[in-house]
Structure 1
Amino acid sequence: MTLLLFCLLFPLFGALILLFVPSWNYKLIRSVALYISLGTFLLSLLLWIQFDNSTGKFQFMQSFALVEHAAKQPEYSSLTFIIGIDGISLFFIILTTFLIPVCILVGWKSIIVYVKEYCIAFLVLESLMICFFSVLDLLLFYVFFESVLIPMFIIIGIWGSRERKIRAAYQFFLYTLFGSVLMLLAILLIYFQSGTTDLQILYTTLFSETREILLWLFFFASFAVKVPMVPVHIWLPEAHVEAPTAGSVILAGIMLKLGTYGFLRLSLPFFPYACIYFTPLIYTMSVIAIIYTSLTTLRQVDLKKIIAYSSVAHMNFITIGLFTLNTQGVEGSVMLMLSHGIVSPALFLLVGVLYDRHKTRLLRYYAGCGRTMPLFAIMFLFFTMANLSLPGTSSFIGEFLVLTGLFQTNTFVAVLATTGTILGAAYALWLCNRVIYGIGKVYYINCFSDLTRREFFMFLPFVILVLWMGLQPEPFLNSLHSSIGNVVNHPFWK
């Protein structure tokens, strides 16, 4: 059994243990879930330690034949469960295993109903996400791409914070599910042409230009909803607002990356001609999304919606970087995905801190938090600066590399995309000013407490990661370089 397979199965083992723990023993349930998730995180760090940066090949590979082909029909290949990671998927697995313990910690006091089911849902979701980022079979890629919707649907629908949580859960599920139907048709088309769903074989398979365009559109329909791109972004703010804090953390940190990871893992290497053909479409849709959602953020009054709409702008900036089709742009996009997976969850956690204390997320009720909650104010200011890509933070590295790659490809689009950074500074500083400074409102000034010890130590790893990626990005870029080189060094693009 490889280390990767053990990392994949360990959360499921934890979920199985929880089934036999009495439902009334909340402390034991939370402790088991936390220790299992922390153990999985340590296993993922071992993957990084043992990872070979010098090669772009898949490592820690393991395969199991699920369905053998019939003897009378040898033209149909077997369905094989193949897992393996390269430098790209490695960091998304580490990010997943880092955020799950945080999700369990953030619900330590606030989740008081169905605690066992809550912990099991996150452990199962962790295992499914690791499977998604490591599976090397196209059909199973689709299976895990869709299966992560089920735990998230349950998390929003059961532990959501407001009356519209059921509607938000269905909206989230149906938007993302319907967008993926075309992807399944595309996988069937690829299978009937090539006779296999093994990604490593399909990377060497050639498609006609017409078929490339058709297949690219089918995959795009699925990935665009997950990113999300305008106009199929409506589900995201609604899901964020209605989800519990832990749901928003995993949604912003991991699930928004499924679409951009899909572009990087499938669309770019499978359909090089179609990627060049549709690059103007991607640039146009992404620039519109960046400007539109940034302006929309300025008029929001709900704290979660402000961060949710800013996430749409950041994710579309990442999409632009992917389609620069050069090393700087793609590496910058991956760094920005990782940075967004740290900064955005931290901001949602900070909003959750306010919500736990006063049970409202409306901006008009908050002012002067710097006087009553100094530790909270420092954290909020720090992650706000990271969100607008202040030099020295992780987001700056990603945005700088994306813009460097984009200027080499299309200067006009680079200038338009930069307006998103300016608008981002506008809404981020405006939000920070409204929440931290000013005279405290009478609604809460006497009843708010600062960060607890548990909350402070929950934020500390986020601060360390943001500064580490911003000041010393070489360990991340070294692991990424060979794997991204396999994608961008396509002969068709030279």
Structure 2
Amino acid sequence: MSDFPFLSILTGAPLVGALVVAFLPRAKPELAKRVALIWSVAVAVLAVVMWFAYDAGGDRFQFRESYTWIPAWDARFTFAVDGIALVMLLLIAVLVPLVILASWHDADTSKRSVPVYFALLLALESTMIGVFAAADVFLFYVFFEVMLVPMYFLIGSYGGHQRQYAAVKFFLYSLVGGLFMLAAVIGLWALGGKTFDWQDLLSADFTTNTERWLFLGFFVAFAIKAPFFPFHTWLPDAGGAAPAGSAALLVGVLDKVGTFGILRYCLPLFPEASRWFAPYALAIALIGIIYAALLAVGQNDLKRLVSYTSIAHFGFIGIGIFAFTTQAGTGAVLYMVNHGLATGLLFLVVGMFVARRGSALVSDFGGAGKLVPLMAGVLFFAGLASLALPGTAPFVSEFLVLLGTFTVNKTVAVIATAGIILAAAYVLWMVQRTTQGTLNPALATVDGMRRDMTIREKVVVAPLILLLLLLGFYPKPVTDVINPAVQATMQDVGKTDPAPAVQEASR
């Protein structure tokens, strides 16, 4: 099945679905929801088939397709995936149907069109798949920019408080980052042999200064997208204003384009610059872990709190990338997947609380577990997964990052560990203030708080809980796919794992 055009179909199918759903009658919102759900499930099935067709021990890039696009620039529709891209595509395929199901009533109270809302979700899926599948730098840049459009309208048209401000801020930050990348893409084409093909650019020879400037152009764009400190300020606003399902995709997948871009483009194409900038990148990642965790502790808005936790988690991913060890790199990629599952679950269950209460403020809850015990239990589990409790998937990735970093930089690993303590503080504070303690009398008067999770909501959270537990105890199927791609990336950078220190026993 290696010749089957998995990637072009996966990229194009959601876009076709978006057009179909968008043109359905506005007076038939239920039809639009069902079509969007069925379409996303079909995409998920195809992604699972591709997963089993992928040969973890085979070529680095598989399912390669290349079609003529702009011959004068040698820009082509070239798709290919390695293990890093493959796990992200599967994450998208799993999350989107669940988000659509979780968002079933998100647009019902809006004056905007319900079919357009679900069409935007499918369009976002198309662009996210495209950005991870692209093997042509110009094609990657196009998807990188275009995926801003559906998310902008999801936030600005269907979001909550200050949605227009948050949408504009999100768009402007990303657009500025895109301009840095555009300059670097043009420079890469002009100085790298006038080609955009990733594999051809891998052998390009740049002067030291040129390589560092090109690296910086890409890195700034990816640091904004991730986001890393100090480029992070757009995320709490966007995550707080976006509908819960859209926020789950924003933080769970879309932001991973930043860390993926560093692994796919910055490290292999600019190895010397990557090594030179690594200490600065590690410093930024460390500051982000501590700073974002401290801000999360002080948040009274549940959705903003979850957004700040994600900034801290991206710091761990950054450390794993720039530690330049296979263990840490594998941990970073696995963290991207596990964070998408854990934070996706956390955002979705927080959205359930917010929809029932009509407020995202922690102070408007208190003792909610007495009214909705099952939903409170899911929130508790999602919080524990977010703080990387042993037995949940994020623990494995966080452990690999810290272990791989400790072998080459003990100071960074020790300081990063402080972020785990802070994570326990903000997660337990959130759970305690929201669901535990004395019941807030105002909750008893809210109709929505009198009903626990519906069957639809249980169907949404069950697969995520199952995956978080399964990958917490048995991550091997995913790490086996990730490892070869990470090892190849480390070879591109010119880094090898440190030899284990073995002391001869004294006689």
- Looking at structure 2, the residues matched to 195 and 229 of structure 1 have their Cα atoms a distance apart, in angstroms, of 31
- The two structures, once aligned, show a CA RMSD in angstroms of 1.2
SS at match of 2:76: strand
- Looking at structure 2, the residues matched to 370 and 120 of structure 1 have their Cα atoms a distance apart, in angstroms, of 35
Of 188, 195, 218 in structure 2, the residue corresponding to residue 190 of structure 1 is 188
Contact 2:350 2:379 in 1 (8 A): no
Between the two proteins, what is the percent identity of the paired residues? Answer: 37
Q: TM-score, normalised by structure 2?
A: 0.94
Of 16, 19, 29 in structure 2, the residue corresponding to residue 16 of structure 1 is 19
Aligned counterpart, 1:166: 164
Task: Return the offset for 1:331.
Answer: 0.3
Aligned counterpart, 1:96: 92
Contact 2:325 2:495 in 1 (8 A): no
Which shows bigger deviation, 149-158 or 276-285? 276-285
Corresponding position: 1:395 with 2:394: yes
- Looking at structure 2, the residues matched to 203 and 296 of structure 1 have their Cα atoms a distance apart, in angstroms, of 40
Unaligned 5+ runs, structure 1: 70-76
Corresponding position: 1:248 with 2:247: yes
- Looking at structure 2, the residues matched to 426 and 457 of structure 1 have their Cα atoms a distance apart, in angstroms, of 30
- Looking at structure 2, the residues matched to 352 and 492 of structure 1 have their Cα atoms a distance apart, in angstroms, of 45
Corresponding position: 1:7 with 2:10: yes
Task: Return the offset for 1:21.
Answer: 2.2
Aligned counterpart, 1:29: 32
Contact 2:275 2:493 in 1 (8 A): no
SS at match of 1:463: helix
Task: Return the offset for 1:491.
Answer: 6.7
- Looking at structure 2, the residues matched to 182 and 490 of structure 1 have their Cα atoms a distance apart, in angstroms, of 24
Contact 2:274 2:493 in 1 (8 A): no
Paired letter, 1:314: H
- Do the aligned partners of residues 4 and 483 (structure 1) sit closer, same or farther apart at CA in structure 2, a change above 3 Å counting? same
Pairing 1:239-278 to 2, within 5 Å after superposition:
239-278=238-277
- Looking at structure 1, the residues matched to 493 and 409 of structure 2 have their Cα atoms a distance apart, in angstroms, of 21
Corresponding position: 1:53 with 2:56: yes
Task: Return the offset for 1:127.
Answer: 0.9
Aligned counterpart, 2:491: 489
Task: Return the offset for 1:224.
Answer: 0.9
Paired letter, 1:14: G
Aligned counterpart, 2:345: 346
- Looking at structure 2, the residues matched to 56 and 486 of structure 1 have their Cα atoms a distance apart, in angstroms, of 11
Of 36, 39, 42 in structure 2, the residue corresponding to residue 39 of structure 1 is 42
Pairing 1:359-398 to 2, within 5 Å after superposition:
359-398=358-397
Which shows bigger deviation, 469-478 or 206-215? 206-215
State the 4+ residue runs in structure 1 displaced beyond 3 angstroms: none
Contact 1:212 1:273 in 2 (8 A): yes
- Looking at structure 1, the residues matched to 429 and 105 of structure 2 have their Cα atoms a distance apart, in angstroms, of 31
SS at match of 2:78: strand
Contact 1:156 1:243 in 2 (8 A): yes
- Looking at structure 2, the residues matched to 217 and 15 of structure 1 have their Cα atoms a distance apart, in angstroms, of 35
Aligned counterpart, 1:306: 305
- Looking at structure 2, the residues matched to 491 and 211 of structure 1 have their Cα atoms a distance apart, in angstroms, of 17
CA deviations on 1:34-66 (whole Å, 9 max, x unpaired) are 000010011100110101010242111111101
Contact 1:294 1:310 in 2 (8 A): yes
Aligned counterpart, 1:320: 319
Aligned counterpart, 2:472: 470
SS at match of 1:276: helix
Aligned counterpart, 1:85: 81
CA deviations on 1:178-205 (whole Å, 9 max, x unpaired) are 1221111111111111211100111122
Task: Return the offset for 1:19.
Answer: 4.1
Which shows bigger deviation, 213-222 or 398-407? 213-222
- Looking at structure 2, the residues matched to 28 and 305 of structure 1 have their Cα atoms a distance apart, in angstroms, of 33
CA deviations on 1:412-454 (whole Å, 9 max, x unpaired) are 1111111111111111111111122111101112531211111
- Do the aligned partners of residues 209 and 433 (structure 1) sit closer, same or farther apart at CA in structure 2, a change above 3 Å counting? same
SS at match of 2:407: helix
Of 474, 479, 482 in structure 1, the residue corresponding to residue 481 of structure 2 is 479
Task: Return the offset for 1:20.
Answer: 4.1
Paired letter, 1:455: E
Aligned residues, how many?
486
CA deviations on 1:94-123 (whole Å, 9 max, x unpaired) are 111212112221221231241111111111
Corresponding position: 1:110 with 2:106: yes
CA deviations on 1:431-481 (whole Å, 9 max, x unpaired) are 111122111101112531211111011100000110111111000011111
Pairing 1:145-294 to 2, within 5 Å after superposition:
145-162=144-161, 164-193=162-191, 194-294=193-293
Task: Return the offset for 1:206.
Answer: 2.4
SS at match of 2:69: strand
- Looking at structure 2, the residues matched to 434 and 325 of structure 1 have their Cα atoms a distance apart, in angstroms, of 40
Contact 2:369 2:375 in 1 (8 A): yes
- Looking at structure 2, the residues matched to 295 and 3 of structure 1 have their Cα atoms a distance apart, in angstroms, of 43
Aligned counterpart, 1:73: none
